[in-house]
Amino acid sequence: MSSLFGTLAEIDFSISRNVIDWTEQSRLVRGIMAPFVGNGLVKGAVPAAVFWYLWFRNDGQPGKHSRLIATLLTAMVAILAGRLLANFMPFRPRPLATAEVMGAEVQTSVFLEEWSSMPSDHAVMFFVLAGCIFLISRRAGIALFLHAAFLVCAARVLFGMHFLSDVVVGAIVGTVIAFAVMPVLARIVQKQRERRNWTIRPEMEYPLLFLVTFQFATMFDGARDLAVRAARFLF
């Protein structure tokens, strides 16, 4: 078993070495893919925009709003699952911080040293959102799957933020949770809305939903920053 994991690690190292070298040599690739590493407008804002498009689209789907709310709840479940996996699995450094990949050019930072590479939280989040949206609109879901795989996750690998296996595992986790959890949560949300005779109050629901989708668009940077500051203040 250890030899199998060693072989898989060597494959990961080899892929990362080659793609990082290729990215550094290709100005076109860097120019096209670099925004998908850290720019929220072309990364997280895309599924957020799709969410709101489907929310306001008048297509007559029964229970669509309940399924969209369940999409956000399911994504939170997936993000928590991804964090638990990262914390309980053996720590894995990022390619940029791995000598087998970067050689003497190893890069260090708090982010690279303290955040495990496996699984990719980006892959988990973007694939769970794509999977949930697919269950509501196949066209929109396929578009988000392509966006997640060929732009967001590919950029993470090309620029050495993740190994290929990190994004593959993250994509599997996100997709499985989407298809397994979202329908269940959608039924619960719909029953609660019917039981309590909920009516949409735009002045209350839309600002709250906006704040939630904004956090997804920014990968919860604001929420995480507040949590870190609060932890430092309290402990």
The predicted structure's pLDDT at residue 153: 92
Integer Cα distance of 180 and 188 in angstroms: 14
Integer Cα distance of 141 and 154 in angstroms: 18
Residue 166 has pLDDT above 80, yes or no: yes
Q: Which amino acid is at 194?
A: E
Q: Within 10 Å of residue 112's Cβ, how many Cβ atoms? A: 18
Surface-to-core class of residue 84, CB atoms within 10 Å of its CB (0-12 exposed, 13-18 middle, 19+ buried): exposed
Q: Which of 119, 110, 101, 106 is nearest to 14 (CA)?
A: 101
Tokens linked to 82: 């991804």
Residue 158 has pLDDT above 70, yes or no: yes
pTM: 0.87
The predicted structure's pLDDT at residue 4: 47
Integer Cα distance of 82 and 88 in angstroms: 10
Cα radius of gyration rounded to whole Å, the chain: 19
Q: Which of 183, 180, 189, 175 is nearest to 129 (CA)?
A: 175
Q: Establish whether the linkage from the previous residue to 119 is cis, with ω within 30° of 0.
A: yes
Q: Which amino acid is at 91?
A: F
Q: Which residues contact 166 (CB under 8 A, 6 or more apart)?
A: 92, 117, 118, 119, 120, 123, 156
Tokens linked to 129: 């959102």
Q: Which of 126, 118, 114 is nearest to 83 (CA)?
A: 118
Residue written as token pair 């769970």: 128
Question: How many percent of the chain have pLDDT more than 70?
Answer: 86
Q: Give domain limits for the chain.
A: 50-219
The predicted structure's pLDDT at residue 178: 97
Over the stretch 53-105, which tens digit does the pLDDT of each residue have? 999 998 888 889 899 999 999 999 998 898 888 888 888 888 877 777 666 56
Q: Indicate left, alpha or beta for 60 from its phi (over 0: left) and psi (-120 to 50: alpha).
A: left
Q: Within 10 Å of residue 136's Cβ, how many Cβ atoms? A: 21
Integer Cα distance of 205 and 149 in angstroms: 31
Over the stretch 193-220, which tens digit does the pLDDT of each residue have? 777 666 667 777 888 888 888 888 887 7
The answer to whether residues 71 and 132 touch, using CB atoms and an 8 Å cutoff, is: yes
Tokens linked to 158: 């090309």
Q: Which residues contact 79 (CB under 8 A, 6 or more apart)?
A: 121, 124, 125, 128, 220
